[in-house]
Amino acid sequence: MKFKFIVSKWANFYFFVSNLSEWHFSCRKDYNLMWLKETGPLTEKELISLNELKKILLKYGFVLAKIFYIYNEKEIWQKLKKNVKKSEFEKIKLAFKILEIRFESIWKKSGKQLNKRVKLFKLLLNKTEYQDLLNNLYLFFNNKKLNDKINIITIASPLSGEAITAAGGANIDDKHITLEIPDLKINSWELEYSFGIIAHEIAHILFKKLNDIKIINKVISELKAPKKMPKNLIPKQSTMEFMIELIIESLVPLGYLSKKYFKKFDPIKISFSKSNLKVLAENFLNYKQNKLSSTHRLRKFLIWQLYPLIIYQIESKKNLDKDFIKKTICFVLNTIKNKGSLFI
């Protein structure tokens, strides 16, 4: 698989503006706090404009992100005009105009930093262990190495410090992923984990390409399991979404492929240490008592117990199939059946 890292000012400008609008649960509130700490609180004019933008983004979802992420400035506005109403187009342009000075003050420094951060990941991709990790990923999803090209749209994260890692997304199409890169040290576990984020997002693309989503939905239907996860999980997810994320996280960055190939980041020691396992178990018990829980921690609790299954699948060089999916879903159902039902 070939990779192309893209450093785009307009992609970062869109991310900045859309993230400030907080239109989606995945928006990074910690980024907003850092940006506003640097540039000052939002004005009333900015708040009004961001609220209008939020309404538009809720309507169109990630469709607009794709326009800003993969096209140049001239093409962006031309394509945007064709995809939204005239009044919406004007509100989007206004939001960018109002927030331009604030973004420029941040980009002046972060744009230079982003180019340096991208070089780190280019070096990682040339290392044998990282190539082997990706080869195992391809094998798991298709039983052969894929020769596609993945475009990595890079976003400058304002975060830095210990235990700060990259974040990502695969919401655009089957050729692009986004990677939010903070200040990372060479030869750190945070850098390795961040590479695991790239692999994780690639896995989402491979999952979609192989139509395994259809298999998951078929198994859920055969097991007569409702389609939604419990209301006390945040964010609310469908059973299908939860299972996809669980399977992929069982590979990277919290799963067996990270354990097998990373030298600095060991998910067993860091994510599943004795103290963390206690927290995860307590979280699960709280969930069973209908107390507020989190999807992420519940998945961690399940990933730990799925390790034997995923190790067997990888080391036996077996690809993802209906049997593996069914075993995983049945395991989740059986794990929580004492509650009465996992589902709504």
Q: Which single residue is written with the structure tokens 């419990």?
A: 230
The predicted pLDDT at position 83 comes to 94
Whole-prediction pTM: 0.89
- Stretches where the chain sits below pLDDT 70 are 143-147, 230-236, 287-295, 336-344
**Tokens of residue 266, six digits:** 């060991």
**Tokens of residue 211, six digits:** 């139509």
CA proximity to 257, closest of 200, 316, 174, 207: 200
The predicted pLDDT at position 300 comes to 81
Q: Could you tell me the end-to-end alpha-carbon distance of the chain, in angstroms, rounded to an integer? A: 40
The predicted pLDDT at position 227 comes to 82
**Strand (E) positions, the chain?**
2-7, 149-160, 167-169, 176-183
Strand pairing class (167-169; 176-183): antiparallel
The predicted pLDDT at position 285 comes to 73
CA distance 53 to 21: 7
The predicted pLDDT at position 341 comes to 38
For residue 198, give Cα distances in angstroms to 121, 138, 173, 284: 10, 13, 15, 28
b/e 285-317 (16+ beta carbons within 10 angstroms → b): eebeeeeebebebbbbbbbbebbeebeebbeee
pLDDT tens per residue across span 162-212 = 999 999 999 898 899 999 999 999 999 999 999 999 999 999 998 888 777
CA distance 27 to 45: 21
pLDDT tens per residue across span 48-87 = 999 999 999 999 999 999 999 999 988 999 999 999 999 9
The Cβ of residue 202 has, within 10 Å, a number of other Cβ atoms equal to 25
